Amino acid sequence: MGSGWIEVVVASLLITLVGGTILTRGRSWLEPVFWKRFAIVGSLVMFAFLWILTFDTLRKTAIGKGRIPDPTVINRKIGYQLDADTGRFKPVVLGDEPLFGKTYTREEAMKLLVKGKLTIQSRNCMDCHTLLGNGAYYAPDLTKAWLDPKWEKIMIPMTGAKTKEEAMVRFLMHPDKYATWTRRMPNLHLTEEEAKAVVAYLKWMSAINTNGFPDHFGQSKLVKF
Ligand code: HEC
């Protein structure tokens, strides 16, 4: 649907008005039946619009459609650039960049993402973090965590890992050992497999165009250690 919310509201009101006027022809506005018919038409029109909007949203939020990238995006490099038209940062999918040295098929990638999501749910990460803005505000939002410059600048040297994904796995398995903040993340006893799946999930999530959310991501000054 190419129309915005104003068009949808105006259209639903117009249809209600036209439909109501037709059904109450010859009736005075002082008669109860006039208002009854308008109420019925109004409710039916609103119901129809909500129905259409629900399916429109489901279509737009389906994996691999619109703003939600295909699972195989984990095989590609994700950049984060300022979009001149909107004045907001948006992810861009660049060249090949295998994750953990592997290129995943669509099925393998999907399985990994599901495991990552289930791991995140099993440990209640949203008790402290937000994902796409949902959750708690104790710890950083994880929507763009994959793109956080801290992995290269602080965590690779700190963990002795060779790659960013390896540094993330080491942090996720031992957050108590590699703390970089006054608030501490507890050790949630993730297995290596679970930590890798979480990293894949975070990489995939970072490629969702969230209209620049979270604001000022990656622009705050890094603390020197
Ligand atoms: C009890 C609260 C708490 C829970 C539960 C928690 N975290 Fe954290 N997390 C933190 C805190 C605090 C930090 C910042 C720690 C630091 O920088 O030393 C953090 C940092 C992170 C980071 C680094 C983010 C960045 O860009 O700097 C990631 C990734 C992360 N957590 C993932 C997870 C995942 C995945 C889970 C669930 C398996 C989880 N966290 C559960 C508190 C929590």
What are the boundaries of each domain within the chain?
5-60, 71-206
Q: Tell me, what's the pLDDT at 4? A: 82
Q: What pLDDT is attached to residue 128? A: 97
Average pLDDT, the chain: 93
Residue 225 has pLDDT above 50, yes or no: no
* Nearest Cα to Cα of residue 201 among 43, 40, 11, 73: 73
pTM (two decimals): 0.86
Q: Which residues pair with 131 in a beta bridge?
A: 134
pLDDT at 222: 54
Interatomic CA distance for residues 54 and 124, integer angstroms:
28
CA of 175 to the centre of ligand 1 (A): 8
In the chain, the percentage of residues whose pLDDT exceeds 70 is 96
Q: What are the tens digits of pLDDT across the range 166-224?
A: 999 999 999 999 999 999 999 999 999 999 999 999 999 999 999 999 988 877 665 55
**Protein residue whose Cα sits closest to atom 6 of ligand 1:** 125
DSSP string, 13-62: HHHHHHHHHHHTTT--TTSHHHHHHHHHHHHHHHHHHHHHHHHHHHHHTS
Is beta strand 88-96 parallel, antiparallel or unpaired with respect to 134-135?
unpaired
Q: Which CATH fold topology does 71-206 show?
A: Cytochrome Bc1 Complex; Chain D, domain 2 (1.10.760)
CA nearest to 19, candidates 47, 1, 44: 44
Q: What mean pLDDT comes out for the span 88-110?
A: 96
Q: Which residues line ligand 1 (CB under 6 A)?
A: 120, 123-125, 127-129, 138-140, 142, 145, 148, 150, 172, 179-181, 183-186, 188, 198
Residue nearest ligand 1's atom 39 by CA: 125
Q: Which atom of ligand 1 is nearest to the CA of 180?
A: 18
H or E stretch including 176? none
